[in-house]
Amino acid sequence: MADFVVIDDILAPKGKIVVEYRGPNPFAFYPKISGLMQSIFQARGVHYFEDEFRWDVSSDPRQFLLRMHLAKGFDRFSEGRVDLKIIGEQPSDPKKTGAIFVEIGSTIVTRYPASTPLQKLVVLPFLIIYHWVYYNKIRRQYILRYKSGVERLEAEIRNTFGLVMRERLA
């Protein structure tokens, strides 16, 4: 089924937020991620996915890679998504210095279904009008909500590690 798809990058033009930490016990953040994302984005466990979990015990410090995302539908057309990529190294002694690199990205995806060429030909003009006159305002609200949520998530991550928020330009 071919759809008309509009993808909005919440953090455009930068695309990602990066948080870096060097200090004791960086992996301590991992158990908090799921609950934090669910509370910020008003989601449940069924919306949270851990896509990849790698933990290398062959060396010290132990290296790890985590990829997770939260995907929650707003209505029948749009879905919000927040992606986290976490790379780090955790010493076997949690009091020793380790490191963590957290990358946050987010998108809003809007899909308008159109399965046949006739539907595409007939529906396309109406979709364009509907999208730009009415639904675009709704999508903008979703974008602002998720942008605010991503900024709050960054603040919570920085707070967990005791890092200071940096001022953003525009």
Give buried/exposed letters for 141-158 (b at 16+ CB in 10 A, else e).
Answer: ebbebbeebbbebbebbb
Quick one: angle between helices 30-40 and 136-161, nearest 10?
A: 150
User: What does the block give as tokens for 61?
Assistant: 């410090």
pLDDT in tens, 12-38: 888 899 988 888 888 888 888 888 999
pLDDT band at 165 (very low <50, low <70, confident <90, very high): low
Question: Looking at 25-29, 73-77, 79-83, 142-146, which range is the least confident one?
Answer: 25-29
How much is the average pLDDT of 28-56?
89
pTM equals: 0.82
Long-range contacts of 124-127 (CB under 8 A, 24+ apart): 124/4, 127/4
